[in-house]
Amino acid sequence: MTSLYPKTRLTSSVSSKLLCVLAISFGLSSFVVVSGCRTFGSKEIVRPAKHSLRADNLLILSNIRLKKTDPIIQDLFKLRQDVMLSLNLGEQKREVVVYIFDGEEEFRRYFGSVYPDLPHRRAYFIGSRSELAVYTYWGSKIQEDLRHEYTHGILHSALASVPLWLDEGLAEYFEVNGPESGRIHPQNAYHLKESMTQQWKPNLLRLEKISEFANLSHQDYEESWGWIHFLLHHSDKTRGILISYLDKLKSKSNITPISQRLAQTLPDYEEQFLSHIATLNLAADPVNTAGFQQMRSHQREFQKE
């Protein structure tokens, strides 16, 4: 069954000069202009802004005072470094703003009023010409959600264009926390392996043609992650293809799709992808093993949303 993932990316090429107005694109095709300041009963709903913390093109706004030494802030700093260095992105061209609400209730009230048509999610990335913004709230999964959405922000701050499959695949890749980048995503790896037993075949060309966020299925997220892991870890040649592709995206949007680049260099790249996924060892990593054990509960949560 096709359904939306618990994280949402919204981007737009429309800007607004009004302080409380933000133009966003849902699914990269339709534009919606909404007010960023609303009232709920007699209480005004505003984004958190009592305390701020800024460093390295990252601005964090929260009603709870934060320090640069806090673990969750340190993790974001490390994540930025990992993303920039691993992908050879160079310099960020824009600042990413992270809004952390006090709790889920305030978060739901804000988005229910300001963006009433958005799907129910724990976190959002909303990009416009005026701001690259991440929204979430303090909860048990804040680290995972921040890592995923902040990765979107970093990519959009460094690249002129970010194809949807690439955007979500990289966000899935970097949301996994660990001592080093490239830790296997347990849910995605498991589901891809399971699909392979049912004669499923990868299709990067099909993924590249998806431009509507609403058209991404769970399996599309999983396959996108799989391609990123394959490109970064299968061989120096596949890694070079990805880094070269990203380098072109820094200044251009209309470039040769990576599927064509792979086909020219590795004619059997789909078979190599399947072989790469088949060799991933979930049990070899204790962090992944713990994640794998929680997979079924995550699946139930996805279905509820």
Tens digits of per-residue pLDDT, 97-134?
A: 999 999 999 999 999 999 998 888 999 999 999 999 99
Task: Please give the DSSP secondary-structure letter assigned to residue 277.
Answer: H
pLDDT of residue 153: 98
Q: Distance between CA atoms of 123 and 305, rounded to whole angstroms?
A: 13
DSSP secondary structure of 65-101: ---TTSHHHHHHHHHHHHHHHHTT-----S-EEEEEE
Please, are residues 209 and 157 in contact by the beta-carbon 8 Å criterion? no
Q: Distance between CA atoms of 109 and 145, rounded to whole angstroms?
A: 19
pLDDT of residue 8: 58
Please, are residues 113 and 75 in contact by the beta-carbon 8 Å criterion? no
Domains and CATH numbers, the chain: 1-158 (3.40.30), 162-305 (no CATH)
- Give the end-to-end CA distance of the chain in Å, rounded to a whole number: 13
pLDDT of residue 263: 97
Non-local (6+) Cβ contacts of 79 within 8 A are: 147, 150, 151, 154, 174
pLDDT lower than 50: segments of the chain: 1-6, 12-42, 286-305
pLDDT of residue 289: 39
Q: Distance between CA atoms of 93 and 96, rounded to whole angstroms?
A: 10
pLDDT in tens, 247-266: 999 998 778 999 999 999 99
The pair phi, psi for residue 187, each rounded to 5°, is -65, -45
pLDDT of residue 281: 83
